[in-house]
Structures are given as structure tokens and as C-alpha cells.
Amino acid sequence: MIPWHAIDTVLLDMDGTLLDLHFDNYFWAEHLPTRFAEHHNLSLSTAREHIHRLVAESEGTLQWYCLDHWTQLTGLPIAALKAEVAHKIQTRPHTLKFLQFLRAQQKRVLLITNAHRDSLNLKLACTDIAPYFSAIISAHDYQAPKELPQFWQALAAAEHFDPARTLFVDDTPRILASAKRFGIAQLLCITQPDSQRSANSCADYLGVADFDEVIPGVSHE
């Protein structure tokens, strides 16, 4: 399904693509509301409603991904709270096998994430993925999320890749749409970013549940 002969550079998202999104969903839906309720002496249901509203108000913006912003909003040390549940940080099935395949194919592989550097560093410390990348880039480095054209312009200026010979893998259709508008030729959508939830629709893009589906010669279990 992927024309590997026509690809020099592979851009990979982190959360929901390389790593199981269950960690993030659990943190925002369960762990943070619990700690927020305790800290502010609220019921858990009230805390959940408050956090859900704050999340919805800033979705897709750089602030949405910024731990400093969330620390200000909640009065809680968000990076430290994430570390409390770091045992839930896991790679998705076949992630390491896919990264090893890309290395064997001598592709240039970049990690590009909207995650704040504190969250990024925690996840890299809990997994074995960091050595496989030529560069590890947070959208905060460019002051623009992947949803905006400014991110892609800054990335291209810094990393000098050819969009026509590039594959980008992400689990969020609006971000894939942003990459498409920039001119990224090959787009792949992860359909089940959270192992504990049902698959999402990726109707406008080539979609796979796991990376073994795009590694040539790998039998699908």
C-alpha cells in the first residue's frame, strides 16, 4: 500500500501513532479530574465537567498541548501528575518493528509532535523509540501546532525534506489535512490510536490499525 521506493523521509507523530493514546485519554479523563477534585474540594463529576470544558475550548491550538498553560489553568503541576501514571505509557503494537524496518530501508525518520517538551521527554524516557530518529521536534519549538501551515513551513526550512518524497503518519485527520495542504505526498492514518477504544474513521486517508500492515513481507496476525 505504501510506495516505499518513492519515499526518502518519514515523519511520525507520537501520541496515538507510535504510542498508545490510552495514556493521554486516561490522564485527561480520569487522573487529572481526580487530582483537580481533590485539590479544589469538588465532586469528581464537577471536576470532570470543568476539565472537559477547558479541553474543548482550546482544542487544536498550541495552548491545548502546553503543560505550562494547563498548570496555570488548573493550579496543579501537570508534568508531575503525568509522571504519576507514567506506567501507562506504552508503544503501540509493532512500533519498534516498524522503526527497525525504516532504519533497514535507510529512510530519514523524524518524530514530529504537538506534545510539550516535558511530556515528550517523559515519554521518551519510558520507551525505546528515541534512537531511531534523525530529529525529534516539538511543535512548541516553532510556536505553532501541526494544524497550522506555519508549522510545516518552519519544519521544511529546518529539515530540508522534499514533500513529494515524504510519508507522514498521524492519528488525527485534521492534522493529516494540514499536511496535505502543505503538499506532503504520502499520508497514513492510524485508525485505532487508543487500544482501549474502538477504531476511528479515516475515510479521506489510507488507514491502518497497526504498522505490520505496511511492512512488506510481514504476515498479519
Percent of the chain at pLDDT exceeding 90: 90
Count other Cβ atoms within 10 Å, centred on residue 77: 14
What's the rounded mean pLDDT across residues 5-27?
A: 97
Residue 44 lies in a domain: yes
Domain span holding position 171: 4-20+91-214
**What is the pLDDT at residue 203?**
79
**What is the pLDDT at residue 45?**
96
Give residue 160's region: left, alpha or beta (phi > 0; psi -120 to 50).
left
Residue 221 lies in a domain: no
**What is the pLDDT at residue 16?**
97
Confidence of residue 127 (pLDDT cuts 50, 70, 90): very high
Confidence of residue 114 (pLDDT cuts 50, 70, 90): very high
Handedness of CA 140, 117, 174, 34 (dihedral sign): negative
Task: Clarify whether residues 76 and 107 are in a common domain.
Answer: no
Percent of the chain at pLDDT exceeding 70: 98
Task: Clarify whether residues 62 and 128 are in a common domain.
Answer: no
Task: Clarify whether residues 101 and 175 are in a common domain.
Answer: yes
Residue 210 lies in a domain: yes
Residue 220 lies in a domain: no
Count other Cβ atoms within 10 Å, centred on residue 70: 23
**What is the pLDDT at residue 219?**
53
Number of domains, the chain: 2
What's the rounded mean pLDDT across residues 15-21?
A: 98
What's the rounded mean pLDDT across residues 204-215?
A: 94
In this predicted structure, the answer to whether residue 178 has a pLDDT above a threshold of 80 is: yes
- Distance separating alpha carbons of residues 27 and 44, to the nearest angstrom: 14
Task: Clarify whether residues 167 and 66 are in a common domain.
Answer: no
The alpha-helical segments, DSSP class H, found in the chain are 22-26, 32-40, 44-58, 67-74, 78-84, 95-104, 117-126, 149-159, 173-182
Q: Which residues contact 125 (CB under 8 A, 6 or more apart)?
A: none
Q: Which residues contact 14 (CB under 8 A, 6 or more apart)?
A: 111, 113, 115, 120, 123
pTM: 0.94
In this predicted structure, the answer to whether residue 221 has a pLDDT above a threshold of 60 is: no
- CATH code of 138's domain: 3.40.50.1000
Residue 219 lies in a domain: no
Task: Clarify whether residues 128 and 170 are in a common domain.
Answer: yes
pLDDT digits (tens, 9 = 90+) for 52-86: 999 999 888 898 999 999 999 999 999 999 999 99
What's the rounded mean pLDDT across residues 97-111?
A: 97
Q: What single-letter amino acid sits at 37?
A: A
Confidence of residue 218 (pLDDT cuts 50, 70, 90): low
Give SS3 for 50.
helix
What's the rounded mean pLDDT across residues 184-206?
A: 93
- Cell (9 digits) for 28: 485527561
Rounded to the nearest integer, the mean pLDDT of the chain is 95
What's the rounded mean pLDDT across residues 197-202?
A: 87
In this predicted structure, the answer to whether residue 39 has a pLDDT above a threshold of 90 is: yes
